[in-house]
Amino acid sequence: MVSIDILEHELLRNGHRITEPRRALLMSMQAMGDHFTAEGLAAASPGVGRATVFRTLKLLQEVGTVCQVVLDDGTLQYRLTPGGHHHHIVCSRCGAVNDFASCDIQGLLNEIADRTGYAIDAHRLEVYGRCAACRRTLEG
């Protein structure tokens, strides 16, 4: 789990202040665990306005300490991350999320750029399946 100190350090390093509402949100995020929704974060931080919740989530995504996870049912959740480019593998049964960094798709991205004429700025890869625990439950 990413510590509040690391989150605060990344904000400061990127030229952003640590306000009381931001600190309250960081503490709530850490307490909420593996992944959370914006609505859940707002509910866990009653003294912080909804607009501040969404602005802070966007800011934390920009500095690389929070990432979005799209679950199999289309639900959007957020997750604290230690940073660095990564992707998610999501259990379509229990919703568990794991990160993975090995992503050898640069050749495919180059091909897509050539075919479409786009200059690709970014990409996101979400992989869905059943985690080992859910597979054991179904097979057992």
What CATH number has the domain bearing residue 63?
1.10.10.10
Same domain, 72 and 12: yes
Q: How many domains does the chain have?
A: 2
**Looking at per-residue confidence, does 81 or 40 come out higher?**
40
Same domain, 60 and 15: yes
Residue 113 has pLDDT above 90, yes or no: yes
Across all residues in the chain, what is the average pLDDT? 89
CATH of the domain at 106: 3.30.1490.190
Report phi then psi at 124, rounded to 5: -140, 135
Same domain, 106 and 136: yes
Mean pLDDT of 120-129: 88
What pTM does this model have?
Answer: 0.77
Mean pLDDT of 31-55: 94
Q: How confident is the model at residue 103 (pLDDT cuts 50, 70, 90)?
A: low
Same domain, 91 and 64: no
Same domain, 5 and 68: yes
Same domain, 37 and 72: yes
Residue 67 has pLDDT above 70, yes or no: yes
Q: Which domain holds residue 36?
A: 1-82
Same domain, 16 and 33: yes
Same domain, 23 and 75: yes
- What's residue 82's pLDDT? 67
Judging by beta carbons within 10 Å of its beta carbon (0-12, 13-18, 19+), is residue 65 exposed, middle or buried? buried
